[in-house]
């Protein structure tokens, strides 16, 4: 896998997992609706993947790559991997009840982050525990913030 695809994979995995978990938890906290969660994940899989791919494109252009092919490789890889990782979170909601799907999504998401962090830390000879801890902490902060926003929204807007 070339550098541009690795970049898109890592960005797509972390962003796709963290964003989608935050969305799932926030929508569950505010609506408790399986339909709304599935629709939200589908919407974010498309819109956020395209948005992040466009951001990666601009970022790669700013890095002044001499070959436009490298810019497009990073752009396409970011879209595809982010889309794929976000879309995977629909599956538990199609197969399980909402509570089980929420737990399965959290386990799956934290597993993906942990596995990726482990292999990257090993490859770059970094402290494995700190790398995993740092990345999981980011995910937990996003999930907790999304939960609080979801509960707050439900409390103030749906009373």
Confidence check: pLDDT of 66 > 80 = no
pLDDT digits (tens, 9 = 90+) for 113-158: 999 999 999 999 999 999 999 999 999 999 999 999 999 998 887 6
Task: In whole angstroms, give the CA distance from residue 39 to residue 118.
Answer: 32
Task: In whole angstroms, give the CA distance from residue 150 to residue 32.
Answer: 10
3-class DSSP assignment, residue 63: coil
Average of per-residue pLDDT across 89-110: 97
Q: If you average pLDDT over every residue of the chain, what do you get? A: 93
Higher pLDDT, 3 or 128: 128
What is the per-residue pLDDT for 89?
Answer: 97
Task: In whole angstroms, give the CA distance from residue 113 to residue 115.
Answer: 6
Confidence check: pLDDT of 39 > 80 = yes
What is the per-residue pLDDT for 158?
Answer: 64
pTM, two decimal places: 0.91
Would you mind telling me the total number of residues written for the chain in this entry? 159
Higher pLDDT, 159 or 11: 11
Average of per-residue pLDDT across 26-55: 96
Per DSSP, 64 falls in state T
Task: Give, in degrees to the nearest 5, the angle at Cα 108 between 38 and 143.
Answer: 70
The stretches of 63-159 forming alpha helices (DSSP H) are: 68-87, 90-95, 98-123, 128-157
Widest CA span of the chain, in angstroms? 56
Confidence check: pLDDT of 82 > 80 = yes
């Amino acid at each position: 896998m070339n550098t541009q695809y690795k970049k898109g994979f890592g960005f797509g995995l972390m962003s796709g997992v963290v964003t989608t978990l935050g969305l799932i938890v926030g929508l569950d906290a505010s609506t408790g609706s399986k339909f709304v969660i599935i629709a939200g994940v589908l919407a974010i899989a498309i819109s956020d993947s395209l948005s992040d791919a466009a951001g990666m494109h601009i970022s790669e252009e700013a890095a002044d790559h001499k070959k436009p092919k490298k810019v497009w490789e990073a752009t396409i890889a970011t879209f595809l991997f982010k889309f794929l990782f976000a879309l995977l979170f629909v599956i538990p909601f199609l197969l399980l009840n909402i509570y089980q799907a929420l737990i399965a999504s959290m386990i799956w998401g934290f597993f993906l982050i942990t596995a990726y962090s482990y292999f990257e830390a090993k490859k770059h000879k970094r402290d494995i525990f700190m790398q995993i801890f740092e990345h999981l902490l980011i995910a937990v902060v996003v999930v907790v913030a999304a939960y609080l926003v979801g509960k707050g929204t439900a409390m103030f807007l749906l009373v």
